[in-house]
Structure 1
Amino acid sequence: ETSRATSQSIAQAKAPKHQPATLSPSEGSSPEQLPLAWQPFWKPFRSELSALGFASRIARLSGREVHVEQSGSGRYQAQFAYRGEPDQRIGLALISSASGLPIEQGTP
C-alpha cells in the first residue's frame, strides 16, 4: 500500500510541466472529462517561423503547452492548451507573468 502511494507520488512529480493544469475532484468535473481546448493569446504572425519561435519561447518561459495554428493565408496564431475555464484563466495569467507581455484574448 505504501509502495503504491509512493509510486503515484513519483509519477506525479515526473509529469511534464507543460500540461494544462488539472482540477481537483472537489472542483467539479474530473480533468479527464474536460476536453482539451486551445486559446489564442497573441496577435497572428505573418511568418510561420516567427510564430514558432514565439510559441517555443513562451512554452519555455511559462511551462505551458503552446502550438501554432495557421488561421488563414499568412496568419499563424500561437495558442496554449487548457482544460476548463479555471485552467484558461491560470494559463493567461501564467503566460503574462512569465513573459512580461500584455496578453490578449487572441483574435482569429
Structure 2
Amino acid sequence: MEKLAWMNLLYDFYGQLLTQRQQKFVELYYAHDLSLGEIAEQFGVSRQAVHDVLKRAEHILTRYEEKLGLVAKFMEQRRRLGEALALLDENSSMNEETLSRVREILRGVMG
C-alpha cells in the first residue's frame, strides 16, 4: 500500500490520539496535499519544524498500529468479506431474494 493511503488509514484509526497540532499538520500534509512550506507559512514556523512534527506523528501512528493492530484487522476483515461476497456470487444456490439480501448485508459491512 502506498504511503499516502497508509498514513491516511493510520490517521483515521488513531488520529485522535495525536496532539491538535500534530493532527492539523497531518491533515494538511496528507489529506489536503499541502507542502511543508505551505504549512510552515500558515503556522509561522520553519519547514524543518513542520517536518519534525510530521515525522513524530508518523512514528506515533505507526507505534499505535504495531501495538494495537486495528488497521491490519480492518484490512483482513475487508479481505475476508470480499472473499465471502465473491463465493456467494460464484456458488450460490439460494433463491435470488435471499442471495440479494446476503450480498446487501456483506456490502454494508464492507462500507
Bin of the TM-score, shorter chain as denominator length: under 0.3
Bigger relative contact order (CA 8 A; separation at least 6): 1
Which structure dedicates a bigger proportion of its chain to helix?
2
TM-score, length-scaled by structure 2: 0.25
Q: Structure 1 length as normaliser, TM-score?
A: 0.26
